[in-house]
A and B are shown apart, each in its own frame.
Chain A
């Protein structure tokens, strides 16, 4: 059974022998039409859902709701809740502060629909989680997701992908590095005969891989491997053409921090300073609205070009110390 978010008028009188149940939904019940295996189309108001069926009422106030078992339903068209489109627009436009509030309210409102797969209840909560992720409120995300364990979201394959993604961010919110390592490694793929030191990720939407790269970078950093982390942060910036602005900004900030630390250790390394300069102006233009944090401003000065050939950059093999003279 799947749910369609298409409005449809109640077109038939419900003639069902289902159990009459009290109203479940706090919010105004959503209009819906249900196509049954028998060929009948039933219209009514969805007042709630359980793991094995939906609760439907013929009354707009949701009174006298009855349960239709999932196995009897072929198709379900449900009215889009008020405020859904606005919340979705906020999210799509990248206004995550707003979408967090809007989806939080919707999720509470349609909490009773959570057991229904891809219902507005589950999806509102999912978008709320995603908003928290985008805002970087990872501790809050962890808490919220833990809380949701009591009423687990019911998602189809498509939305489950998003949920799997934010699970990783929730782990990051707890700074449970061991769990984070297990999480990212579970998405890695063995590639025999590869010339590259790092494993690629499995075939997933690129936005997911970008996210996984950021999480893996964090894990590497927790192990003290800043060099590998730097590469993964850059993967997070470049995967999916770098289209996730929030992720890109976060990853660039991390790159900037790592590069600054490297430059501090090797202030005369021109090649390193050039790389740091590139990251600094990327941060300034793509994430910092023309600014970089005060600490990193020195990185915005480009080092003088080095005219030396590449071959001369290396330190020659050291000779043994001169023999001690004889007296």
Chain B
């Protein structure tokens, strides 16, 4: 017993020594779970003891202590196991609660060996069997009784048994270990963490608030506070509890406490806080807590910041920087430039959070930082390039986005993102208006994809829509039509259908356009394109002459989108429709509304105001309201002069201005417009303006003054183009050739010739078709070989321009000249020229009549009687050819007669026996005589006599007529001869007829 007591005293002594051990053990336990409850204290070494027998409890205890000090847990279990085996059964009876120290140590070793369940069991024995009672003598008290409960709680927490752990923590808090045996602040952080893990963030926060506020005199270290904060954040960013409200709480908590947990950049890395913050930020971001994610990343320290921190530390050492510090500097220095370090993961997490939040500018800033600073070998570079490209679009930088897309394609031609990059790049190019590039790339990309592949959706859309925007409308229409058929569920279906309709409209296929636009409007009533579609639809209806439908569509558009930026155009079209329907008052009203809208719209709508004012002048003219004509004219000239409509507005207003005594002013204004038009590169509008100018100048001032004015029209020193100069010459010719003023220009032929010669000097390309033809005709009229040759060139130049108002004149002019020049080659050309007229000018019968006649004459002159007869016979079948009917029948008869077909000839001459052809004496006298001669030749003298007698009796006065005279005389001769031959009674009027 004495021995036992002695032993116990020694044990007691050692157990009190072991208190320090226990402190250390607790530290160790806490460290195991990642938390520090007490400040690190150097353990006091166990006193050197003499070697005891192996079963001596003291010896065993000390041996175990030594091994534990050296972290030799497995070995330490052995002596402790012997103690528990040998003394355990009656240990608590023999030594009282103090024996709990043995179980505590045993559990501690087990815990370090990660045998948590066994450890828990032994801590529990320590806590239950080794419980201190109120009457437990001081020397028998278990010094680690309360701490064993804390240890159990820590293990339970590590095992995820949060509720059980919390119960133990709460019990411990109610009956804590003596002060100084554990770190109270760290304990609270640990409990807060457990609350947080158990989903009781409010309790965790409450505890941490107390800690941060320093309640109870506690002053935890910043890193301990940071640990608590991280634990709290784990809860607030978890999918179960993380929401907008907890995000708000988190921000509030950080706002209040961030300064208290300020830790140096290096410590942030050293304590692994950066890693934990990154994990939390990612959870927050996935949990839609984007601002919290941004904030958590912002609490991290970058490698750059760590290096700054370490440099600041090293500066303090001067030249003697410790080796460890140097190594750390080097390590983090390398991380700064590393392409795949934690920094880049953090930056990408940050950019992701910003993008999810919608702050694309911030994400763009991060991605472009990466584009600038990573190498091609970086695993993150493709993400960075693509991210920069994507966010450049979202921040309104399509050009930059396109450049980045191209860079991506160049750097990573086989990357898995390439498809996405191509898609985005194509969309960017197209929507940035770079249609050439978009088209080129889309064609390149689609060449590698089968036609029916879904990936052709975008490329084919871009091809079609780009072609449309590049003005290749027909190809665009085909592409878009094909796209619409193949990709019925396309993402681009809506724009494809709009562009397809627009293409048809551009191709002036108004009816098809209407069909497509109506269908589009029905399918996509809320489309962003709907306003343009309705405007275009109204245009189609207008162009089809369906003015009522046009008006309906404009009403629909205005009702649907009263703020549509182009509504002024639509309302102006309403005015146009009313004008076409002669609803002039309604037209004026609509134009005034359109004008007000366009003026309010400001920049870019001036052209609408100008055009509307022109239409208002027209409407006012139609309404016979000269005051308003002048009002609109004045408005136009005050603000919109210098535009496309100048000439038109002045011309339309001239009458009203003339009436108001402002005709001369208007003419001056028109002269100014004409000179301006003549200063441009082309001569658009000059012809109409000059015509109007000359027409009104003659009326207001007079023809001789006009002739003078046309000579000095362009002020000295002003350069004008040849188009205007030519038109001024032409205007002089037109004036001089006007019979109305022939008496006022006695030398007009010479003056005209001078003007024509001026025109002949111009390059034909610079002259209007009208002028080309007039010059040609003038040359042909000279009737010289040179003139004819030159005339053909001028006519050809006009004909080469295709159909125009002056095309028939040119064609006829050319044929006439060719017809008269002779020679077999020219003969054929002339026949061809006439055939061309007959073929191409069917809608101008007067030209066809002339051409056929001339063609027949050509054959006639060449004695090609069959061909000539065929042409003339064809002409006789055209009832409309009345102008040349007599000549045609005459020539037809002649051709038949020459060919020897006297019956047909007789048939052709017969119409001259009666009206109306008998009145064409230049043909009828000869025709009648020739018919009579044919009858005579056939032996029908009676018939011949009757015919010549009728001819003589009707035409006896025409014996002096240049064409008919000789044939009348011949008729008289035949009359006398046949009368005598047939012994007819002389007619009583023979004296009158001059045949007696």
Does A205 lie at the interface of the complex (its beta carbon under 8 Å from any beta carbon of B)? yes
Which residues between 189 and 244 of chain A lie within 8 Å of chain B, taking CB atoms? 191, 194-198, 200, 205-207, 227, 230-231, 234-235, 237-243
| Minimum Cβ distance to chain A for residue B290 (Å) | 8
Which of A118, A231, A281, A321 has the largest number of chain B CB atoms within 10 A? A321
Task: Mark B334-360 against chain A: 1 for CB-CB distance below 8 A, else 0.
Answer: 000000000100110011001001111
Pair B406/A195 contact, Cβ less than 8 Å? yes
Contact check, A324 vs B615: say whether CB atoms are below 8 A apart.
yes
What is the distance, in angstroms, from B635's C-beta to the closest C-beta of chain A?
17
**B contact residues around A140 at 8 Å (CB):** none
Our pick among B291, B394, B542 for the contact of A281 (Cβ within 8 Å) is: B291
Scan residues 41-98 of chain A and give those whose CB is less than 8 A from a CB of chain B: 75-76, 92-95
Residues on B with beta carbons closer than 8 Å to the beta carbon of A207: 304-305, 308
A106-114, A128-136, A307-315 - interface stretch: A307-315
Q: Is B324 an interface residue (CB 8 A)?
A: no
Does A93 lie within 8 Å of B404, measured CB to CB?
Answer: no
Residues of B within 8 A of A95 (CB): 259
Q: Known contacts A159-B315, A248-B298; is A322 also within 8 Å of B372 by CB?
A: no
**Contact A322:B361 (CB < 8 A) given known A92-B262, A195-B400, A312-B495:** no
Minimum C-beta distance from B213 to chain A (A): 16
Q: Does A30 contact B (CB under 8 A)?
A: no
A325 on the B face (CB < 8 A): yes
Task: Find B298's partner among A235, A286, A308 (CB 8 Å cutoff).
Answer: A286
Interfacial chain B residues near A14, Cβ < 8 Å: none
Contacts of A294 in B (CB 8 A): none
| Chain A contacts for B162, CB-based, 8 A | none
State whether the Cβ of B251 lies closer than 8 Å to any Cβ in chain A: yes
**A237, B54: Cα distance in complex, Å:** 68
- Among the 9-residue stretches B573-581, B626-634, B888-896, B902-910, the one with 4 or more Cβ atoms under 8 Å from chain A is B573-581
Residues in A with CB closer than 8 Å to B320 are 4, 75
A243 touches B494 (CB 8 A): no
Which residues of chain B are near A264, meaning CB under 8 Å?
none
A241 pairs with B298, CB closer than 8 A: yes
* Docked complex Cα distance between A270 and B297 (Å): 29
Assuming the A-B contacts A316-B498, A319-B539, A322-B542, are A231 and B361 also in contact, with contact meaning beta carbons closer than 8 angstroms in the complex?
yes
Q: Assess whether A242 is in contact with B358, with CB atoms less than 8 Å apart.
A: no
Q: Which of A156, A234, A241 contacts B364 (CB 8 A)?
A: A234
* CB neighbours of A20 from chain B (8 A): none
Indicate if A245 sits at the interface (CB-CB under 8 A).
yes
Contact B319 A237 (CB under 8 A): no
Assess whether A285 is interfacial by the CB under 8 Å rule: yes
Q: Roughly how many angstroms separate A171 CA and B516 CA in the complex, as a whole number?
A: 63
Q: Does B614 contact A (CB under 8 A)?
A: yes
Taking the closest CB of chain B, its distance from the CB of A323, in whole angstroms, is 8
Chain B residues near A286 (CB, 8 Å)?
A: 251, 291, 294-295, 298
Whole-angstrom CA separation of A231 from B502 in the bound complex? 38
- B304 near A242 with CB under 8 A, answer no
A285 to B311, alpha carbons, bound, how many Å? 33
A318 to chain B: which residues have CB within 8 Å? 532, 566
Q: Say whether B745 faces chain A, with CB atoms less than 8 Å apart.
A: no
Choose, from A21-29, A146-154, A173-181, A271-279, the stretch at the interface: A271-279
Whether the Cβ atoms of A242 and B298 lie closer than 8 Å is: yes
CB pair A285–B360 under 8 Å, yes or no, is no
Interface residues of B in 483-514 (CB under 8 A from A): 491-492, 494-495, 498-499, 502, 505-506
Q: Which of B366, B492, B527, B611 has the most CB of A within 10 A?
A: B366
Q: How far is the CA of A309 from the CA of B258 in the complex (A)?
A: 43
Alpha-carbon distance A285/B248, docked complex (angstroms): 8
The answer to whether A327 and B300 have CB atoms under 8 Å apart is no
Q: Which residues from 278 to 326 on chain A have a C-beta closer than 8 Å to any C-beta of chain B?
A: 278-279, 281-282, 284-286, 289-290, 308-319, 321-325
**Neighbouring B residues of A278 by C-beta, 8 Å:** 354, 357-359
A200 touches B372 (CB 8 A): yes
Evaluate contact between B395 and A231: CB separation under 8 angstroms: yes
Contacts of A324 in B (CB 8 A): 576, 611, 614-615, 648
- Tally B residues with Cβ within 8 Å of A: 101
Using Cβ atoms and an 8 Å threshold, which residues of chain B touch A322? Answer: 538-539, 542-543, 569, 572-573, 576
At the interface, yes or no: B316 with Cβ under 8 Å from chain A? yes
Give Cα A327–Cα B577 distance, bound, in whole angstroms.
Answer: 11
| Alpha-carbon distance between A271 and B391 when the two chains are bound, in angstroms | 12
Q: How large is the interface on A (under 10, 10 to 19, 20 to 34, 35 or more residues)?
A: 35 or more
Bound-complex Cα distance A322 to B532 (A): 13
CB of B622 within 8 Å of the partner chain = yes
Asked if B407 contacts A195 (CB within 8 A), the reply is: yes
Min CB gap B224→A, angstroms: 16
Within 8 A of A (CB), among B343-398: 343, 346-347, 350-351, 354, 357-362, 364-366, 368-369, 371-373, 388, 394-397
Residue of B nearest to A89 (CB): B262
* Closest residue of B by beta carbon distance from A189: B372
In the complex, which residues of chain B have a beta carbon less than 8 angstroms from the beta carbon of A75?
318-320
Cβ of A280 to closest chain B Cβ, rounded Å: 10
**Docked-complex contact A290 and B252, CB < 8 angstroms:** yes
B741 at the interface (CB under 8 A from A): no
- Complex formed: what's the CA distance from A271 to B395 in Å? 9
Contact between chains at A317 and B469 (CB < 8 Å): yes
Task: Report the Cα distance A158→B505, complex, angstroms.
Answer: 70
Please report the C-alpha to C-alpha distance between residue A264 and residue B766 in the assembled complex, in whole angstroms: 53
- Cβ of A18 within 8 Å of any chain B Cβ, yes or no, is no
Shortest Cβ gap from A189 to chain B (Å): 9
Smallest beta-carbon distance B259→chain A, Å: 4
Question: Contact: A240 with B302, CB < 8 Å?
Answer: yes
Contacts of B469 in A (CB 8 A): 317
Which residues B592-626 have CB closer than 8 A to chain A?
A: 607-608, 611, 614-615, 618, 622
- CB closest chain-B residue, reference A242: B298
Interface positions of B from 579 to 594, Cβ below 8 Å from A: 579-580
Question: Which residues of chain A come closer than 8 Å to B294, judged between CB atoms?
Answer: 242, 282, 286
Query: How far is it, in angstroms, between the C-alpha of A205 and the C-alpha of B301 when the chains are bound?
Result: 12
Does A10 make an interface contact (CB < 8 A)? no
Contact across chains for A321 and B572 when beta carbons are under 8 A apart: yes
Chain A residues with CB under 8 A of B495: 311-312, 316
Question: Given the complex of chains A and B, what is the CA–CA distance between A318 and B343 in angstroms?
Answer: 48
Of chain A, the residue at the smallest CB distance from B295 is A286
Cα–Cα, bound, A158→B295 (Å)? 28
A137 close to chain B: CB less than 8 A: no
What CA separation (Å) do A279 and B611 show in the bound complex? 45
Interface readout for A231-268 with B: 1 if CB under 8 Å, 0 if not?
10011011111110100100000010000000000000
Decide: A235 and B406 in contact? CB cutoff 8 A. no
Task: Closest B residue to A258 by CB, please name it.
Answer: B361
A2 within 8 A of B: yes
**In the bound complex, CA of A234 to CA of B542 (Å):** 52
A5 an interface residue at 8 Å Cβ cutoff?
Answer: yes
Is A316 in contact with B529, judged by CB distance below 8 angstroms?
yes
**Could you tell me if B542 and A290 are in contact, using CB atoms closer than 8 angstroms?**
no
Q: Are B579 and A275 in contact (CB under 8 A)?
A: no
B residues in contact with A312, CB < 8 Å: 494-495, 527-529
Cβ contacts A to B, 7 pairs, < 8 Å: A159-B315, A194-B372, A196-B388, A234-B362, A278-B358, A282-B294, A284-B291
* Smallest CB-CB A-B distances: 6 pairs: A2-B318, A195-B403, A278-B359, A278-B358, A285-B291, A206-B304
Q: Given A206-B302, A322-B576, 20 more contacts at CB 8 Å? A: A4-B320, A75-B320, A95-B259, A196-B388, A234-B361, A235-B369, A238-B354, A240-B302, A241-B298, A241-B343, A243-B302, A279-B359, A285-B291, A290-B251, A311-B494, A315-B528, A315-B532, A319-B506, A322-B538, A325-B579
Residues of B within 8 A of A (CB): 247-248, 251-252, 255, 258-260, 262, 264, 291-292, 294-295, 297-302, 304-305, 307-308, 311-312, 315-320, 343, 346-347, 350-351, 354, 357-362, 364-366, 368-369, 371-373, 388, 394-397, 400, 403-404, 406-407, 427, 431, 461, 468-469, 491-492, 494-495, 498-499, 502, 505-506, 527-529, 532, 536, 538-539, 542-543, 566, 569, 572-573, 576-577, 579-580, 607-608, 611, 614-615, 618, 622, 648
